[in-house]
């Protein structure tokens, strides 16, 4: 039974036990260092334990994974049928393989004393291993929609005993082209299921899912915690206007002034990620690249270095960084203004967690002012326009950091072993001169002098008025590709039952390319042609070669400009 906390209980005194969770779960949470539930956990766990459907609007970092995972585990533990069945009682759908792994690991940690069997299912992983585990029996499946639908079609993922379906980051899944897959999966689930949906934003497409598949849902809206008067916001947002040619130097100066513990720099393309990573390493930063052209093993190594502190700067594309949860992250930097306000919301949701302040910085070219205005309107927060730090600013910042380091050493370090050096020099020099020389050595040891590149100031326009159709910074019209698109040949067509949504779902799910970036699709009897951005073509081809569409393996390559291909159907 669900146990509702009393109205008299203050938020500060509510514990996980007060929410009605089993001792096995509260013990696991305590061992993991979780002392009190977050606001969204306080609001969501009670209704979910009571069996209600739930709609939660929550940003990354609010604790939503535990908010849905703990009730899922409790329902499973309370059900004798769930304990004996080989089929799952819960299915959690997520947009990316990284998030599938993270959620699966979290569910396993929370339920370790219950003996729950958890399996992540995603593309790019050998399907044979997934098939073997499913045959042995699984209690909770965490999956990307494309791979889940593939297993349902094979008959290897049975949903008859399903009690709960969770759609995590629903807006991201829809952006990636998974709408058809999600609806097909939900139609295979029992009518009696509990449906839980979390989304950082609530566009009309998400509301459509809610109306069709949630019944009498509890609604929770949980953004960043409201600040008390006079407190600083948890995410400090600022932007610098800079010409593209000067962006690497501007980024270096912003990093020097901000001095992040760890930062993600978002770029638009794989090529830009590689180039900027090389540039920043050349400037003395410990930068790592993360994009869709890397294998899962390479990505795991990069994340390991970042979490271990041997790297402090992650340069990534949006798709590659989806679902990442980095506890020590302090800064998100948009090397370009995101093309959609929703992408900006997802990016800055990675910082400002657990009461710590985070920083979101955007490097905007002069032509991107209107896109900044659209982001301000969606987030309902002002983005402060700043001037690029000057060389004098950097010198002052470095001196401040040197002073802080010396002050910390005076307070905490054992300095007696250096006394003989100071006393011997004091016989010959004034003690202040000795101190000045020591500070100079410490200052120079902290890093290279800042560059003296001239970065011209670009004044912000007096007014940032919008033109019709440009309010949100998106391309107008249909979802055609940007300039420089290429056409891919895919060796399945109408005779295989292939539909446009099958191609979009496969490309979005396996290659991580957002559905809105996929252009024209032409389906012939025996093959299909799909336009994708040129910089993503190789990643898509490689990903599709290990994928299946309609249960069949896919051959994919760049199209060789076929002439008069017969009986094509254009979408």
Q: Which CATH class is domain 235-386?
A: alpha beta
- Cβ-contact 119, 142 below 8 angstroms: yes
Provide DSSP, 220-244: EEE-SPPPPTTPPPSEEEEEEE--G
Q: In this structure, how many other beta carbons lie within 10 angstroms of the beta carbon of residue 171?
A: 23
Instruction: Return the closest-CA partner of residue 218 out of 462, 40, 444.
Output: 40
CA dist 52 and 483 (Å) reads 47
How does 176-213 read in b/e, with b if 16+ C-beta sit within 10 Å? bbbbbbbebbbebbeeebbbbbbbbbeeeebeebbeeb
Please tell me what DSSP assigns to residue 243. -
- Cβ-contact 525, 492 below 8 angstroms: no
Please tell me what DSSP assigns to residue 5. P
C-alpha 316: how far from its chain's center?
11
CA dist 432 and 438 (Å) reads 10
Give the chain's count of helices (H) and strands (E).
Answer: 21, 21
pLDDT of residue 484: 66
Instruction: Return the closest-CA partner of residue 350 out of 326, 376, 372, 334.
Output: 326
CB within 8 Å of 79: residues ≥ 6 apart: 89, 163
CA dist 316 and 292 (Å) reads 9
Break the chain into its structural domains and give their ranges: 11-222, 235-386, 391-445, 485-570
Largest CA distance in the chain: 95
pLDDT of residue 229: 39
Tens of each residue's pLDDT in the chain, 571 residues: 334 343 334 444 688 889 999 999 999 998 887 778 888 899 999 999 999 999 998 766 678 899 999 999 999 998 854 456 789 999 999 988 878 888 999 999 999 889 999 999 988 777 888 899 999 999 999 999 999 999 999 999 999 999 999 999 898 888 788 899 999 999 999 999 999 999 888 888 899 999 999 999 999 987 544 444 333 347 889 999 888 888 998 998 898 888 888 899 999 888 899 999 999 988 888 899 988 778 778 888 888 888 777 888 999 887 777 666 677 788 999 998 887 777 788 788 778 655 567 899 999 988 777 788 878 877 778 898 888 887 777 777 777 777 877 877 787 777 888 888 888 888 888 888 888 888 888 777 766 555 556 676 665 443 333 333 333 333 333 333 344 688 898 988 888 888 887 888 788 777 777 776 788 888 887 888 898 888 888 888 888 887 888 878 888 888 765 433 443 444 4
CA dist 535 and 461 (Å) reads 33
Provide DSSP, 47-73: HHHTT--EEEEE-TTSSHHHHHHHHHH
Angle of CA points 497, 502, 503, to nearest 5°? 110
C-alpha 224: how far from its chain's center?
16
**Domain 11-222 indexed as CATH 3.30.590.10:** no
DSSP H stretches of helix in 111-246: 127-136, 145-154, 170-175, 179-187, 204-213
Beta bridge partners of 121: 143
**Domain at 485-570, CATH homologous superfamily:** RRM (RNA recognition motif) domain (3.30.70.330)
**Residue appearing with tokens 């402090």:** 312
pLDDT of residue 137: 92
What pTM does this model have? 0.51
Cα dihedral 546, 549, 554, 556 sign = negative
CA dist 162 and 192 (Å) reads 9
CATH topology match: 11-222 vs 235-386: yes
**Residue appearing with tokens 């295979």:** 188
CA dist 385 and 458 (Å) reads 11
Angle of CA points 362, 363, 364, to nearest 5°? 105
- Cβ-contact 63, 36 below 8 angstroms: no
pLDDT of residue 475: 35
pLDDT of residue 539: 84
Tokens of 526: 């025996």
CA dist 104 and 118 (Å) reads 6
pLDDT of residue 201: 80
Provide DSSP, 334-357: ESS--SSHHHHHHHHTTSS-TT--
Cα dihedral 516, 520, 523, 529 sign = negative
CA dist 443 and 396 (Å) reads 12
């Amino acid at each position: 039974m669900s146990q509702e906390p009393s109205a008299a209980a203050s938020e500060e005194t509510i514990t996980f036990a007060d929410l009605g969770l089993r001792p096995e779960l509260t013990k696991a949470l305590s061992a993991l260092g979780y002392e009190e539930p977050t606001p969204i956990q306080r609001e969501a766990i009670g209704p979910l334990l009571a069996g209600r459907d739930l709609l939660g609007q929550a940003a990354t970092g609010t604790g939503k994974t535990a908010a849905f995972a703990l009730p899922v585990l409790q329902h499973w533990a309370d059900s004798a049928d769930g304990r004996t069945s080989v089929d799952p009682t819960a299915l959690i759908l997520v947009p990316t393989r990284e998030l599938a792994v993270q959620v699966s690991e979290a569910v396993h940690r929370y339920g370790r004393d219950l003996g729950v069997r958890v399996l992540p299912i995603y593309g790019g992983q050998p399907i044979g291993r997934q098939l073997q585990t499913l045959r042995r029996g699984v209690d909770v499946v965490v999956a990307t929609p494309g791979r889940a639908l593939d297993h349902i079609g094979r008959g290897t993922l049975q949903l008859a005993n399903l009690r709960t379906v969770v759609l995590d980051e629903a807006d991201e899944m829809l952006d990636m082209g998974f709408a058809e897959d999600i609806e097909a999966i939900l139609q295979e689930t029992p009518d009696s299921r509990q449906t839980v949906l979390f989304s950082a934003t609530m566009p009309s497409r998400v509301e459509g899912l809610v109306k069709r598949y949630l019944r009498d849902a509890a609604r929770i809206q949980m953004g960043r915690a409201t600040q008390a008067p006079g407190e600083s916001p948890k995410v400090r947002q600022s932007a610098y206007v800079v010409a593209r040619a000067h962006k690497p130097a501007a980024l270096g100066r912003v990093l020097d002034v901000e001095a992040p513990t760890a930062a993600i720099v978002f770029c638009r393309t794989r090529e830009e990620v590689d180039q900027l990573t090389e540039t920043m390493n050349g400037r003395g930063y410990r930068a790592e690249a993360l994009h869709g052209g890397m294998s899962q093993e390479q990505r795991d190594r990069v994340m390991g270095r970042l979490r271990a502190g041997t790297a402090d700067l992650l340069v990534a594309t949006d798709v590659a960084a989806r679902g990442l949860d980095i506890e020590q992250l302090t800064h998100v930097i948009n090397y370009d203004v995101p093309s959609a306000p929703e992408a900006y919301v997802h990016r800055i949701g990675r910082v400002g967690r657990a009461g710590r302040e985070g920083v979101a910085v955007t490097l905007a070219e002069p032509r991107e002012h209107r896109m900044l205005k659209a982001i301000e309107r969606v987030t309902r927060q002002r983005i402060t326009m700043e001037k690029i730090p000057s060389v004098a600013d950097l010198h002052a910042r470095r001196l401040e950091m040197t002073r802080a380091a010396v002050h910390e050493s005076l307070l905490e370090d054992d300095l007696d072993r250096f006394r003989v050096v100071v006393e011997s020099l004091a016989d010959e020099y004034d003690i202040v001169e000795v101190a000045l020389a020591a500070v100079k050595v410490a200052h120079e040891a902290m890093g290279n002098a800042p560059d003296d590149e001239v970065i011209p100031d670009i004044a912000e326009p007096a007014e940032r008025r919008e033109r019709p159709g440009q309010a949100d910074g998106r391309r107008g019209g249909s979802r055609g590709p940007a300039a420089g698109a290429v056409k891919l040949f895919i060796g399945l067509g109408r005779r295989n039952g292939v539909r446009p949504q099958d191609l979009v779902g496969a490309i979005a799910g396996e290659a991580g390319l957002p559905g809105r970036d996929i252009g024209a699709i032409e389906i012939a009897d025996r093959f299909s042609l799909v336009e994708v951005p040129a910089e993503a073509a190789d990643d898509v081809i490689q990903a599709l070669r290990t994928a299946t569409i309609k249960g069949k393996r896919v051959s994919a390559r760049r199209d060789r400009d076929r002439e008069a291909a017969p009986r094509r159907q254009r979408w």
